[in-house]
Structure 1
Amino acid sequence: MALTVVSLGGPVAPEGEQMLRAAGVISLHTGAYPAKAEAVDLLASSGADAIIVPNVERIDQDLMTASAKLKVVAKHGAGTNDIDLAAAKALGLPVLAAVGANAHSVAEHALMLMLALIKDVRNQDAYVRAGGWDKKTYCGAELRGRTLGLVGIGMIGRALAAMVQPIGMTTISYDPFAPAAAFGPHVRKVDTLDELLAQSDVVSLHCPLTPQTHGLIGKREFELMKPGALLINTARGEVVNEPALVDALESGRIAGAGLDSFAVEPPANEHPLWALSNVIVTPHCGGVTEEARRQVSLMTVRNVLAFLRGDTVDQHCFATR
């Protein structure tokens, strides 16, 4: 009997779908962010052997028990905060993640946000579109000579550190869980988050969302940052206390923020960040370039197929076993 894989939140990339078909797998999918009842019905009616999770509100116990045949849950990406890992572990369901598949894309996105902020791209674009052309009003600066502080030195952080070295930035990082080898020759390890915040001109977040990192950057942390510092968040929105961020931006405590993720997605139309000219926002798309989506899909599908066949899966891809 053919295996069935259900993707909750849209199909994987065409290359991934082709890999599933070539393996004789029945591949089904919902639209983006399906209603829970729709997802439960599809999982139950199809007798899914595996769930792939691109875009869904949350994978909870109800979804994980909808199909009696379910053997594995795979995140179409690296972050698994939208999956109830405790429930999965209690059910004996392994959870896989495509660790590192979109690291380069996210690192490029963080660099783009840094450059857009320091070069004042948003405001200059609006100024020219409105008929302005007085270069004496320009207040852009350079990244050269500044210090980048990475909160987290995983694959994304390491890729970003390599990208800013030719620009002339100094890079430091705080990551209490990383081995010494992760920092490499161009990143100086600091022992505390406070130390990193006090020294950095740009603070870029690359840590996972855990109970320990929820609200990691709040009022106290913003007060420790340099006046004129920039905050970049391509991690998870909940790592930052958004009301404290708004206060820091409005008061001028920090100079700007580049945000690709938010505590609630999509954010409300009346979110106070929208009124601030020192903020650049994107819709949590840093890791979904065409190239990254293809790599994430291929890694996710390979992992799922390997697991279902009883083949070896890289241990780093297991969020739970």
Structure 2
Amino acid sequence: MTTTIVTVGGRMAAEGLAMLENAGVECISTEAYPRKSEVLELIERHQPAALVIRLVEMVDADMLAASRNLKIVAKHGVGTNDIDVAAAKVLGIPVIMATGANAHSVAEHALGLILALAKDFLRQDSHIRNGLWDKKLYAGRELRGQKIGLVGFGLIGQILARMAAPIGMQVSAYDPFAPDEAFADGVSRTTSLDALLGESDVVSLHCPLTDATRGLIGAREIALMKPTAYLVNTARGEVVDEPALIAALQGGRIAGAGLDSFAEEPPVKSPLWQLPNLILTPHVAGVTEDARRAVSIMTAGNVLAFLRGEQLAKNLHARV
């Protein structure tokens, strides 16, 4: 009997698909952000042994229960806020993530947003495209000597810290769960989020979305930041209170922001789109071709290992 895997929300990279197909696995994919009815129809028809989750609003209890053969759910990336993990636990289905495979791409993207904000790239590009050449309008500044505060100090935060330090930035991080040994090479540990927000010239978010971090950066927290500070979010959109951020940017309460994720994705029309001190990217920090390849290879390898009863990769987290 053929083993089938359904990828919900777009195809895996060719290298990951090849690993599965060479192992005799039938691979079926939906388009990005499919309708629930489409997903249910595919699962019910093909009865897959595994679901691989990419771009989807929510994989709910109905989808998880639709295949009597389902043995594992694998997130093509990290973060399980788009999977009903509680329902999976009730059904006894493990949920795994490809932790770390795209960490370098996300860290680079965060650094890119920071540089674009500090160097005033968006406004300068707009000026030239509109026929305006006036160096007096340049508002760029150096990052050397600036303080960057990282909220969350897992692998992505640690990689970004190693990138920021050679520029000359002073790096501190707030993460009550990170071990002390993670704080090395001049990175200081800040035990209070409020203190980190108040002292940082750049605040970059790298925490997972949990009940504790939902709305973590709201009006009160933004009010603690310097008026010259930038906020960068390459984590999850729901970590930031978007209406509070909009108000702060409109009022000049902070200098600017760079967002790669949003509370609703795909996002509906928002006042965010009209703000000149905001840089937006469509949740692509971790989906460079290099990262997509690495995530697909790790995901395919671990799904195959699980189905064969073999050991999974060390940097992959599983929940049951």
Shift of 1:33: 1.1
CA distance in 2, matches of 1:315, 1:101: 12
Shift of 1:166: 1.1
Q: Equivalences for 1:285-304 in 2 at 5 Å?
A: 285-304=284-303
CA distance in 1, matches of 2:295, 2:229: 33
- State whether residues 99 and 315 of structure 2, in contact with CA within 8 Å, keep that contact through their aligned partners in structure 1: yes
Shift of 1:104: 0.4
- State whether residues 110 and 204 of structure 2, in contact with CA within 8 Å, keep that contact through their aligned partners in structure 1: yes
CA distance in 1, matches of 2:58, 2:184: 36
Shift of 1:252: 1.1
- State whether residues 50 and 74 of structure 1, in contact with CA within 8 Å, keep that contact through their aligned partners in structure 2: yes
- State whether residues 144 and 169 of structure 2, in contact with CA within 8 Å, keep that contact through their aligned partners in structure 1: yes
Shift of 1:196: 0.6
Aligned to 2:305: 306
CA distance in 2, matches of 1:318, 1:185: 27
Shift of 1:135: 1.0
Q: Equivalences for 1:109-258 in 2 at 5 Å?
A: 109-258=109-258
- State whether residues 80 and 319 of structure 1, in contact with CA within 8 Å, keep that contact through their aligned partners in structure 2: no
CA distance in 1, matches of 2:175, 2:184: 13
Shift of 1:179: 0.6
Aligned to 1:35: 35
Shift of 1:58: 0.5
- State whether residues 57 and 265 of structure 2, in contact with CA within 8 Å, keep that contact through their aligned partners in structure 1: no
The share of aligned pairs that are identical, in percent, is 59
Aligned residue type for 2:299: T
- State whether residues 174 and 192 of structure 1, in contact with CA within 8 Å, keep that contact through their aligned partners in structure 2: yes
CA distance in 2, matches of 1:35, 1:130: 41
Tell me, yes or no, if structure 1 residue 79 matches structure 2 residue 91. no
Shift of 1:317: 1.9
Shift of 1:181: 1.2
Equivalenced residue count is 320
Between 284-293 and 132-141, the greater mean CA deviation after superposition: 132-141
Calculate the TM-score normalised by the size of structure 1.
Answer: 0.98
- State whether residues 161 and 186 of structure 1, in contact with CA within 8 Å, keep that contact through their aligned partners in structure 2: no
Q: Equivalences for 1:52-91 in 2 at 5 Å?
A: 52-91=52-91
3-state SS of 1:77 partner: coil
- State whether residues 3 and 49 of structure 2, in contact with CA within 8 Å, keep that contact through their aligned partners in structure 1: yes
Shift of 1:185: 2.3
Between 2-11 and 101-110, the greater mean CA deviation after superposition: 2-11
Shift of 1:137: 2.0
Indicate the RMSD between aligned Cα atoms, in angstroms: 0.9
CA distance in 2, matches of 1:37, 1:240: 31
Calculate the TM-score normalised by the size of structure 2.
Answer: 0.98
Shift of 1:316: 4.5
Which runs of 5 or more residues in structure 2 are unaligned? Answer: none
CA distance in 1, matches of 2:80, 2:157: 18
Aligned residue type for 1:48: P
Which runs of 5 or more residues in structure 1 are unaligned? Answer: none
Q: Which runs of 4+ in 1 moved over 4 A?
A: none
Shift of 1:248: 0.9
- State whether residues 148 and 171 of structure 2, in contact with CA within 8 Å, keep that contact through their aligned partners in structure 1: yes
Shift of 1:186: 2.6
